[in-house]
Amino acid sequence: MSTAGATMVMTVTDYKSSAKPIWCPGCGDFGVLNGIYRAMTSLQLDPDQTVIVSGIGCSSRLPYFIKSYGFHSVHGRALPVATGVKLANPELTVVVVGGDGDGFSIGGGHIPHTAAENVDLTYIVMDNAIYGLTKGQPSPTSPLNFVTNASPYGLQKDPLNPVAMAITYGTSFVASGYSAQAKELGELILRGMKHRGFSLINVQSPCPTFNHDITYDTVGERVKPVPPEHDPTDRIAALRLAFDSQHVYTGVLYTNDRPTFEDKVRALNERASARPAPTIDAYFERYV
C-alpha cells in the first residue's frame, strides 16, 4: 500500500490474500481473478467493506484469493446468500462469483428472481462449459453432441444461452467477457461493479484440463467486440447479438437503469415509519 500525503492508495498487490490460487495451469479463472483485482484497484474498494460470495466449483474458490470478506457458500446458492448480505448491510460492495454449472444448473432458478428484484450485486460467471471440479461432466452450456466420460455418445441437448437468458429476464446490466483479455475484462468488471442494480457478466473461461473442445483457440476465433453503434438499452438488439451463433460478443450488451431492491425496501420502510403507531384500543376496535 502506497501513500500520497494522508491518502492511502491501494494497489493490486494490496488486494491479494496470502492464499495462492490452486487452479490448473492455463485455467481461465486466473484471468478473471486478475480482472477483479484490476476493478477493485480502480474503485479503491475498502476490503473491510467488500464481500465476495461464491458457490461450489473450481471458480468458487476465488474468495480465498482476495483480501476482503468472503463467503464460500453451498452449491447453487451464492445469489440468495449474497442477497442476504446486501440487505443486512446495503453499504457493502457485494460481488458474486461462480461457474456455469453452479450458476445455471442448480442455481439457475435464483437468477430470474434476483433480476426481477434488481438486487445491487455483481455476478461474475466463469463459463467453461464443463464441471471441472468433479472431473469433466457436461454442464448447462456444453455444446450438443459434446463427448465426455459422462456423455460417451455425445450430449443430447442444446446448450443454454446464459447471456440471452439474462437479457430476457430483464437483468439490468448484462455483459460478456473473455478471460484471455485481461485489460478489457477488468474494465468490464469495473463497469459492472459501478452499475447500481443486478449485473451479470458471463466470462468465457476455458478449462484446459477437461474441456478440449472449447479452448483458447476456438474461443479466440469467435470473440468479437460489441459493435460501437450498438445501443445497450435496446433489448431486442442485445438479444440479436446474444443469439449470434458465429460470434461471442464481448462488452456490455444490455443495460436498464431502474430502482434497486434496496431502494424499494428503503422507500417501504419510510412509508411504514410515517404511519401513526397503532394502539391496543385500535386493534380491539378493528378485530373484536
Domain assignment of residue 7, yes or no: no
In a domain, 3, yes or no: no
HSE, side-chain direction, 13 A CA sphere, residue 90: 12
Confirm whether 139 is domain-assigned: yes
Q: Let me know if residue 191 belongs to a domain.
A: yes
| pLDDT (average), residues 84-106 | 96
* The pLDDT of residue 288: 67
Identify the band that residue 276 occupies on the pLDDT scale cut at 50, 70 and 90. confident
Does the pLDDT at position 278 exceed 60? Answer: yes
| pLDDT at residue 1 in the model | 54
pLDDT range class, residue 272, cuts 50, 70, 90:
confident
Of 79, 38, 19, which is closest to residue 186 (Cα–Cα)? 38
The total of structural domains in the chain comes to 1
Roughly what angle, to the nearest 10 degrees, separates helices 110-117 and 78-88?
A: 30
Q: Give the C-alpha separation, 185 to 183, whole Å.
A: 5
pLDDT for residue 120 is more than 80: yes
The answer to the question of residue 157 being in a domain is: yes
Residues 164-182: what's their mean pLDDT? 97
Whether 9 maps to a domain, the answer reads: no
Kindly state the percentage of the chain with pLDDT values over 90: 88
How many Cβ atoms sit within 10 Å of the Cβ of residue 256? 19
Residue 148 burial (CB count, 10 A): 20
Q: 29-70 pLDDT, tens per residue?
A: 999 999 999 999 999 999 999 999 999 999 999 999 999 999
User: Which domain CATH number covers 179?
Assistant: 3.40.50.970
Task: Evaluate whether residue 6 is within a structural domain.
Answer: no
Which distant-in-sequence residues (6+ apart) come within 8 Å of 156 by Cβ? 144, 145
Q: Is the model's pTM score more than 0.95?
A: no
Asked, for residue 23, whether it belongs to a domain, the answer is yes
Which pLDDT value is given to residue 3? 46
**What's the domain range around 38?**
14-287
